[in-house]
Structure 1
Amino acid sequence: MSARTVLLRGRGRRATRLTPREVRERSLLLRLISLLLQYPDEELTAARDELADEVRCLQPSPTARQLTAFTDWFAARPADALRAHYVETFDLRRKSSLYLTYYLHGDTRRRGMALLTLNRRYRAAGWRADDGELPDHLPLVLEFAALAGPETGEAPLRQHRRGLALIHRALTDADSPYRHVLAALLALLPPVTDADLRAVAELAAQGPPREDIGLAPYGEYGSGEFAPPGTFAPPDQAPPTLMPAPSPHACPSAPPSPPSPSSTPEGPR
């Protein structure tokens, strides 16, 4: 990321610029969300107090408030209970799966094309994930967004914001504290429109698309609509989360050190 300010094209509003400091703060928020959505293994649960301290030191914002509500719960629960809740929430319930292309394409051949497109996006940015997860796994998508910056890195999140809204809805219905983490992420993305809400309600009622004979289009493609193979037209960039001046108390100035999805930048070929 260059030291220049980054132009973010607002939807029907004057262009808003992020300063380099705001870009760094946004990257920290995305990395924290990525960490908190990972499976709570021994290494991550051992870092709970550090993560909670980092969240408490965030500048006030809707995202920070939601992350504080989650880390208060996360830090207080026994590790075994956290792992059981995670598996039940994300592995055993399709409506709150963390694999984003499932909500856009369901179990169809189009999902394979979407995964390939996402992998190509990572490689075009010089980034490679090595943890064995599919490229649409949300913690991985968030780590890419944190590393690659608001325009390139966050494009997959903007494209899949309806799926993210559906995950948040499912977590809210299940009364899972992870709803706060999804709410924190949604606060960073473009606002959900009436069309988004209708699409999310339809997805919740009918589920993602299934493979049909002939693979007829699933709908006219728009911002987050079901897309034909190879189509990629993400919505406009979300406005930044503006932060007030730092408070005088001392807080860590760098992201915490718990594990993140294993990833390495690709060197020159």
Structure 2
Amino acid sequence: MNTTGISFTLRALAHLLRYPDAAMRAHLPDIHTALNAEDAIGRVRRAELDALMDRLLAEGLDAETVYVDLFDRGRGTALHLFEHVHGDSRDRGPAMVDLVRTYEAAGLLLDPAELPDHLTVLLEYASTQPVREARAFIGEFAHILQSIVAALQRRGSDHAAVLAAVLDLAGQPLAPGAAVPEEEALDASWEEPAAFGGCSSQGQAAPGTPQPVHLMRRQPPSGAAR
């Protein structure tokens, strides 16, 4: 297993957590290629991801219904991570602002259609960071990922392999038999975590290299020196 680079794998995993419409599914062969080319996660986990991609391709439109039922109904499997941290409290707004500032400090702009705490956006941001910083950043919310994985496993979802792969990249072992909180009330210990502090913007990808789709490079003002 390659340990020198994880950027393309992080972006591939982010893609696998996106709504599986026709455009998303059309890129699955490329995702398979990217995961195998970078070789950042083990063969067993890649086989699980291949099985997920095969299902998404086979189900077509039905995969979209399954996705909505899985991720958009119930907090236990929500991909907006601040749902697990702040719920609907007023603290969520300032936390969102802080996260956007973390992206902007790295020279990245969030697509207006996206919320900054969605796991796909967090993974795309991590993909722009050096390996050490990316792993540390993921480690800040690994406890939330552990709970989501457990909730997905309880529902028999093969999407659990995607989050397990993210934990693999961060060097965070998947907790066996982790307790899954009820959908209505997540663990109270998550209410005030020291999470999402951001990581260094040093080591950003060089110009001309592939960039995240939903986080965009800030463009210099017109006429500014380049």
TM-score (norm 2): 0.76
Match of 1:150 among 124, 131, 135: 131
Taking the TM superposition and a 5 Å limit, the aligned residue runs for 1:70-81 are 70-75=52-57, 77-81=58-62
* CA offset digits 1:147-205 (Å, max 9, x no partner): 13335545542221111111111111111111111111111224359xx889x737447
SS of 2:6 mapped into structure 1: helix
1:48 matched to 2:36: no
Q: Which amino acid is the alignment partner of residue 53 of structure 2? A: T
- The equivalent residue for 1:98 is 79
Larger relative contact order (Cα-Cα within 8 Å, sequence gap ≥ 6): 1
- The equivalent residue for 2:203 is none
Find the structure with the greater CA-based Rg.
1
* CA offset digits 1:36-69 (Å, max 9, x no partner): 1011122111222332343344536164344233
Match of 1:267 among 211, 219, 225: 219
2:75/2:184 contact within 8 Å kept:
no
CA RMSD for the aligned pairs? Answer: 3.3
Match of 1:116 among 97, 100, 103: 97
Distance 2:154 2:65 in 1: 18
Gaps of 5+ in 1: 1-20, 210-217, 220-224, 237-253
1:226 matched to 2:226: no
Gaps of 5+ in 2: 200-208, 222-226
Structure 1 residues 264 and 235, CA gap change in structure 2 (3 angstroms): closer
Distance 2:197 2:121 in 1: 18
Structure 1 residues 69 and 131, CA gap change in structure 2 (3 angstroms): farther
Report sequence identity in percent.
28
TM-score (norm 1): 0.65
Distance 1:125 1:165 in 2: 27
* CA offset digits 1:232-262 (Å, max 9, x no partner): 58699xxxxxxxxxxxxxxxxx97x9xx643
Distance 1:179 1:122 in 2: 26
- The equivalent residue for 1:207 is 185
Q: CA deviation at 1:143?
A: 0.5
